[in-house]
């Protein structure tokens, strides 16, 4: 997070007047712009256009499986091989499943509630209280799953190295009701943080009061780099196994933001016991995943290098947008003391911090001027950001010109609300 210095207390007045005038001009333009969800832009989806013509009459997987038929609960081996490296899961412990990793996280929660995870002494649903640690800011859909299933959420502050591990270690050690933690370990949603090796080591080794504690390791942005320095994170599954906690990690990933969002392939990786557990539940739920889509993806991406080359093409579309966001923030808010923001090296989001008590009002004023932002508070459990300071910016979907307009409008709203609250 870049913190801008506070303004000179003797600075000339009139900053609020200027912000008010800029806001009036902004509102008069009748914009209709959307910075809410981290969706790929059409140009990004176009990069995978060939998928629409695949598997081009083929219907046989490398092992001879007829992909048109039922079966193959583990998913196609050739596709699992392509993603094993990026997700840091041995191919025999990696499943290729449906079209959404969020769906897999949902299912794992349901199966843990209704059927015992390996190592559990009872079903989660039979316990009086179940809680998950939620690093904040975090991903609103993780929090929505907890709310849906009555799982209490305990916020844990994020640091540039991942969640504050002193807090995590204390909470998991003292309370057996704490059954899990949400983690987006690489280019985290929304602050772009990457978990340090030390954080991964501590997560793998820490003592937990719950014998059935699980790390929901949502590696959604494993290959989504925006610079020439791709982030590497430590191998959580291997670290858990090395520390005698082989069943601790559930690894999730998908090709949603690699190929086509909503028409990609989702992956689950874990210990052999956890993989058997999920497969046993999946066998009741489905007669097999969509192997035609899996074959299509294997033919299109070819191998891990194919994924890298494809992500370079994604980066060429995304990087100018992320640079534009930084440029506007620096030009318009740098030195005002009104904002701090992240400079992510990958992923899909930028986090903007405004003065305490201002985020909701900034989002409201932006909406009134035709710029829709993710609701303030969405980055925190129960939609409650206690400081009311965090705004998530999703630069991917709008075109560059619209994005710049939306960012200029947003910064106008930050100046307006910031100076109204703290007169210049
Ligand atoms: N996990 C994170 C952290 C995300 O940001 C997203 C989408 O924004 C998802 C999961 C959704 O992934 P999928 O499309 O595989 O369900």
Report ipTM (2 d.p.): 0.99
Q: Are 111 and 123 in contact (CB under 8 A)?
A: no
Q: Phi first, then psi: give them for residue 204, nearest 5 degrees.
A: -75, -35
Ligand 1 neighbourhood includes 254 CB (under 6 angstroms): yes
Ligand 1 neighbourhood includes 38 CB (under 6 angstroms): yes
Ranges of the chain whose pLDDT falls below 50 = 3-12
- Residues 6 or more apart whose Cβ sits within 8 Å of residue 285: 107
Q: Residue 395's closest CA among 350, 362, 342, 340?
A: 350
Measured distance CA(412)–CA(367) in Å, rounded: 12
Q: Residue 310's closest CA among 1, 128, 16, 86?
A: 86
All structural domains of the chain, each given as residue ranges with its CATH number in brackets, are 2-44+308-421 (3.90.1150.10), 61-302 (3.40.640.10)
Measured distance CA(124)–CA(118) in Å, rounded: 12
Residue 424 pLDDT: 53
Counting Cα atoms < 13 Å in the Cβ hemisphere of 230 gives 11
Residue 2 pLDDT: 54
How far is ligand 1, taken at its centre, from the CA of residue 324, in Å? 24
Residue 69 pLDDT: 97
Of all atoms in ligand 1, which is nearest to the CA of residue 184? 3
How far is ligand 1, taken at its centre, from the CA of residue 220, in Å? 6
- Longest Cα pair distance anywhere in the chain, in angstroms? 76
Ligand 1 neighbourhood includes 379 CB (under 6 angstroms): no
Measured distance CA(187)–CA(195) in Å, rounded: 9
- Residues 6 or more apart whose Cβ sits within 8 Å of residue 170: none
How far is ligand 1, taken at its centre, from the CA of residue 260, in Å? 12
Residue with CA nearest ligand 1 atom 1: 220
Q: Phi first, then psi: give them for residue 392, nearest 5 degrees.
A: -95, 130
Q: Phi first, then psi: give them for residue 154, nearest 5 degrees.
A: -115, 110
How far is ligand 1, taken at its centre, from the CA of residue 212, in Å? 25
Residue 13 pLDDT: 62
Ligand 1 neighbourhood includes 255 CB (under 6 angstroms): no
Residue 422 pLDDT: 81
Residue 423 pLDDT: 63
Tokens of 270: 């874990």
How far is ligand 1, taken at its centre, from the CA of residue 258, in Å? 11
Using DSSP, how many helices (H) and how many strands (E) does the chain show?
13, 14
Ligand 1 neighbourhood includes 139 CB (under 6 angstroms): yes
Tokens of 11: 């600075």
Of all atoms in ligand 1, which is nearest to the CA of residue 139? 3
Which position has the token pair 């910064």? Answer: 411
Alpha helix (H) ranges present in 128-164?
Answer: 140-148
Residue with CA nearest ligand 1 atom 6: 220
Q: Are 185 and 162 in contact (CB under 8 A)?
A: yes
Residue with CA nearest ligand 1 atom 11: 102
Mutational test site, ligand 1, from 109, 182, 189, 347, max ligand atoms within 8 Å of CB? 189
Q: 177's torsion region: left (phi>0), alpha (psi -120 to 50) or beta?
A: alpha
Q: Are 419 and 384 in contact (CB under 8 A)?
A: no
């Amino acid at each position: 997070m870049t913190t801008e210095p506070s303004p000179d207390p003797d600075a000339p007045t009139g900053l609020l007047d200027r912000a008010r005038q800029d806001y009036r001009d902004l509102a008069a333009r009748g914009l209709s712009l959307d910075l809410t969800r981290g969706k790929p832009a059409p140009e990004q989806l176009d990069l995978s256009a060939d998928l629409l013509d695949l598997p081009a009459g083929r219907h046989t997987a490398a092992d001879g499986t007829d992909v048109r038929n039922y079966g193959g609960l583990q998913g196609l081996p050739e596709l699992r091989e392509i993603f094993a490296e990026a997700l840091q899961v041995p191919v025999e412990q990696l499943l290729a499943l449906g079209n959404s990793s969020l769906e897999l996280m949902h299912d794992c929660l349901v199966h843990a509630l209704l059927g015992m995870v390996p190592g559990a002494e009872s079903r989660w649903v039979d316990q009086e209280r179940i809680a998950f640690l939620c690093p904040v800011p975090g991903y609103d859909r993780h929090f929505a799953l907890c709310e849906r299933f009555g799982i209490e959420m305990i916020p844990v502050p994020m640091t540039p190295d991942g969640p504050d591990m002193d807090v995590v270690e204390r909470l998991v050690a003292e309370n057996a009701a704490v059954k899990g933690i949400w983690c987006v370990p690489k280019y985290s949603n929304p602050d772009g943080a990457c978990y340090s090796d030390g954080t991964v080591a501590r997560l793998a080794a820490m003592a937990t009061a719950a014998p059935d504690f699980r790390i929901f390791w949502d590696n959604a942005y494993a290959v989504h780099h925006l610079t020439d320095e791709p982030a590497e994170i430590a191998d959580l599954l291997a670290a858990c196994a090395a520390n005698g906690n082989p069943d601790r990690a559930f690894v999730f990933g998908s090709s949603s933001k690699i190929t086509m969002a909503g028409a990609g392939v989702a992956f689950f990786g874990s210990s052999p016991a956890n993989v058997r557990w999920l497969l046993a539940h999946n066998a009741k739920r489905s007669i097999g995943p969509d192997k035609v889509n899996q074959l299509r993806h294997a033919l299109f991406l070819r191998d891990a290098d194919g994924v890298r080359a494809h992500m370079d093409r994604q980066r060429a579309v995304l990087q100018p947008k992320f640079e534009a966001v930084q440029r506007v923030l620096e030009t318009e808010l740098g030195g005002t003391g009104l904002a701090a923001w992240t400079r992510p090296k990958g992923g899909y989001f930028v986090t903007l911090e405004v003065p305490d008590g201002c985020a909701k009002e900034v989002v409201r004023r932006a909406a009134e001027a035709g710029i829709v932002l993710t609701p303030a508070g969405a980055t925190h459990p129960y939609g409650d950001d206690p400081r009311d300071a965090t705004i998530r910016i999703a630069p991917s979907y709008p075109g560059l010109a619209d994005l710049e307009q939306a960012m200029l409008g947003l910064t106008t709203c930050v100046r307006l609300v910031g100076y109204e609250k703290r007169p210049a």
